[in-house]
């Protein structure tokens, strides 16, 4: 989650399902088991990487250990190292597939974590010189940038985050499959 959403989690009570570390009805465990669909870009015996179904930007990928652990602080060393290797490998493939070496890599623990299963987000950084829409830069269109040069007040950080959030669209299945092929080819 982006920082403007994090504030909404201040003083949030720990959800009941986090009290013990069983998989309950964990959506990631169900994806790993093949019970829910996903677009996998990487997999080994300890880790999977899938495209986010509601990507912040084009190429937003999740790296997930196959064993269910809610907190990264409790992830056993063999899974922590496997996830670290997968993050590096997937980040490399993603940068090659998209032609953009700028990335954000994020892992939340309880605070701002939407799914109680350890996962890392690899999010391509915005491109500030592209057109608006999903995958576009936070500043939006070239016209908006020209307006900024013309003396209007630039967007605040919060406004940029809000625009970024509002530009999110569900992952198109065919587009996701195409991107996954390109990422896998670059691993």
How high is the pLDDT of residue 148? 52
Domains of the chain: 2-124 (3.30.428.10)
Task: Evaluate whether 27 touches 115 at the Cβ level (below 8 Å).
Answer: yes
Best CA proximity match to 55, nearest among 80, 68, 38: 38
152 vs 30, higher pLDDT: 30
Structure confidence by residue, pLDDT tens digits, 39-74: 999 999 999 999 999 998 999 999 999 999 999 999
Task: Evaluate whether 120 touches 72 at the Cβ level (below 8 Å).
Answer: no
pLDDT band at 14 (very low <50, low <70, confident <90, very high): low
d(CA 182, CA 80): 26
Using alpha carbons only, give the angle 100, 103, 106 rounded to the nearest 5 degrees. 160
Predicted TM-score (pTM) of this structure = 0.70
Structure confidence by residue, pLDDT tens digits, 72-97: 999 999 999 999 999 999 999 999 99
Q: Look up 58 and say whether it is catalytic.
A: no
Structure confidence by residue, pLDDT tens digits, 113-154: 889 999 999 999 886 554 433 444 433 433 444 455 566 777
Using alpha carbons only, give the angle 47, 124, 127 rounded to the nearest 5 degrees. 175
Catalytic option among 58, 60, 117, 119? 119
The tokens for 65 are: 């250990």
Average pLDDT of span 28-40: 96
Q: Is residue 8 classed as helix, strand or coil in its secondary structure? A: helix
């Amino acid at each position: 989650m982006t920082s403007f959403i994090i504030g909404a989690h201040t003083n949030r009570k720990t959800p009941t399902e986090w009290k013990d570390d069983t998989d309950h009805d964990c959506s990631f465990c169900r994806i790993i088991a093949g019970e829910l669909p996903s677009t996998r870009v990487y997999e080994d015996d300890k880790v999977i990487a899938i495209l986010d179904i509601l990507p912040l930007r084009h190429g937003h990928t999740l790296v997930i250990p196959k064993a269910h652990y809610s907190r990264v602080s409790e992830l056993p060393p063999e899974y922590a190292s496997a996830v670290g290797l997968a993050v590096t490998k997937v980040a490399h493939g993603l940068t090659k597939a998209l032609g953009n070496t700028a990335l954000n890599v994020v892992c939340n623990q309880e605070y701002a974590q939407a799914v109680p299963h350890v996962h890392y987000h690899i999010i391509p950084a915005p491109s500030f010189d592209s057109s608006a829409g999903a995958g576009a830069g936070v500043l939006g269109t070239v016209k908006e940038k020209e307006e900024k040069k013309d003396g209007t007040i630039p967007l605040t950080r919060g406004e940029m985050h809000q625009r970024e959030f509002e530009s999110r669209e569900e992952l198109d299945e065919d587009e996701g499959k195409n991107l996954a092929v390109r990422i896998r080819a670059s691993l």
